[in-house]
Amino acid sequence: MPPGPGPGGGVEMILRILYRSVGSENAKNRPAFYSKRLALASLLRAVEKVEIPTRIVFVNDGPMPADRLSMMEEAGEIVPVTCGSNRASYRHVLRMPRLRRWAADDLVWLAEDDYLYTENSLSALVTAAAARPDVEYFTLYGTSRLSATSTRRRPQVTDDGGIHEHAPVIGGVTWARTATTTSTFGLRVGTLVEDELLLRSIPFVGGAFDRATCLTLQGFQPFRLPELGGEPPLVAPSTVAARIARRAALTGLRATLNAVALARPERRRRTLLVPAPSLATHMELGAALVPGHDWPAEADGVLAWLQSRSADPTQPSPAQPAQAQPAQAQPAQAQPAQLHQAQTAQARATSSAGARPNTAGANGKPTTAGGPTPAAATGGTAAGTTVPGVLVSGITSRAVPTGAAATSASPAAGLSPLAAADQLPAPGAGEASPTAAPVLRRPSVA
């Protein structure tokens, strides 16, 4: 369904979420309530509160656990990629709005997969973006602020989470100007297209490139003189020549970025707003877990939301792994007389019905060749098929485990037939039987 008219008579803004995810974990110090499934569920819960059309594209870098995959299939489009690093996947999604020709006024939310969202976070984001068209960038997370004594060459960044300037109250939420955030933020498509080259180049400066990104966009010099050579790497180059080359390359890149930031004209200096206090948090212990909110209680609320949307109340809770079922008793063997009667009845039925091929597919619907369609056989969309919103470049036949097929191909598993047809087979799904998938409201799809 196309978006309807907005309040001013124009086309209504669409919230487009690009959710980057990877199946593996890292060694960060996580809170007890952390899981990537919880992070995904918190975002989907927040989407339910958004009152404008919302589209979600899940950009999955490598295989994904079956439980998360089933939630993604129900909520939006899945795009499998092979990027191999945070920097590469970040640069990949920055191109997607331009390549897909999204409307300039649409709002894009770039999301990583380890954040916990409050229930009204995304609705507050949409309200602020609609109320302040003069603001280009928004985030839901961050405590850094620019001091009033900051200059373009010497930005003074504090982490007190206070409200220093540019703090409008929109929809009951106070928004403050923030100095930096992470790679999870929002902006309009038109702004992203204008800043795309800069956004895709800055990750090569090394270190915390998200900090350098935010300062550069706002016209502040991101690196001081002692920082030009870069921070010591986790694994030092093996030779002196390699160390010298690395330092020279970083010095050149960072000095160039300083010049770009200072050369930005006033009209191209961006503003970055954040709620005070934050409405989302990075799920990492220490300063990354922002103050001002009871995050363990928020996590409990997300789990309760998942519990309420269990596909089958007789199945285990979505928050708990499926329990092994006790072995079923084997049926008694048929006696010879009973077996003879059954064979006789079967022969009579066959002779009366005639030899008719079974043309029903796996879902009981007829197919054109007397068997399941290629899509039904592989659990995906056949190569060369044109499906709205999905680019299919060819799918090789492969066996799909029973657990994966139940969640990705069968309408009886919680998907509508259209949603099932729209999804590509995702790598790694079905390696283990998934837990009961929550029934989620699918955002409207263009």
Residues 6+ apart with CB under 8 A from 304: none
Would 435 be classed as within a structural domain?
Answer: no
* Interstrand relation of 169-170 and 173-177 (parallel, antiparallel or unpaired): antiparallel
- Chain position carrying tokens 């991101």: 222
Would 388 be classed as within a structural domain?
Answer: no
Would 268 be classed as within a structural domain?
Answer: yes
Would 286 be classed as within a structural domain?
Answer: yes
* Interstrand relation of 15-22 and 107-111 (parallel, antiparallel or unpaired): parallel
The Cβ-side half-sphere exposure at 356, using a 13 Å CA radius, reads: 9
CATH code, domain with 55: 3.90.550
Overall pTM surpassing 0.85 (yes/no): no
Would 141 be classed as within a structural domain?
Answer: yes
pLDDT at position 168: 86
CA distance 276 to 414: 38
* Interstrand relation of 272-275 and 115-117 (parallel, antiparallel or unpaired): unpaired
pLDDT at position 243: 87
Residues 6+ apart with CB under 8 A from 278: 140, 141, 142, 143, 290, 292, 293
CA distance 307 to 224: 50
Would 209 be classed as within a structural domain?
Answer: yes
CA distance 146 to 215: 10
For the chain, how many structural domains are there in total?
A: 1
CA distance 152 to 264: 11
pLDDT at position 374: 37
Nearest to residue 136, comparing CAs of 165, 164, 107, 97?
107
Nearest to residue 24, comparing CAs of 87, 68, 55, 58?
68
Q: What is the pLDDT along the chain (446 residues), one digit of tens a residue?
A: 455 555 444 568 999 999 999 998 888 899 999 999 999 999 999 999 999 999 999 999 999 999 999 999 999 999 999 999 999 999 999 999 999 999 999 999 999 999 999 999 999 999 999 999 999 999 999 988 888 888 999 998 888 766 655 578 999 999 999 999 999 999 999 999 999 999 999 999 988 899 999 999 999 999 999 999 888 777 778 888 988 998 899 999 999 999 999 999 999 999 999 999 999 999 999 988 998 899 999 999 999 999 998 754 544 444 333 343 444 444 444 444 454 455 555 544 444 444 433 434 434 434 433 344 333 333 444 433 333 333 333 333 333 343 343 333 333 344 333 334 334 443 333 344 444 444 444 444 44
Domain that holds residue 79: 15-308
pLDDT at position 346: 54
pLDDT at position 237: 80
* Tokens of residue 16, six digits: 């487009």
Would 200 be classed as within a structural domain?
Answer: yes
Q: Answer yes or no: are the C-beta atoms of 414 and 436 closer than 8 Å.
A: no
* Interstrand relation of 169-170 and 157-158 (parallel, antiparallel or unpaired): unpaired
Q: Answer yes or no: are the C-beta atoms of 129 and 138 closer than 8 Å.
A: yes
Q: Answer yes or no: are the C-beta atoms of 222 and 203 closer than 8 Å.
A: no
Would 416 be classed as within a structural domain?
Answer: no
Sign of the torsion angle spanned by Cα atoms 230, 181, 83, 61: positive
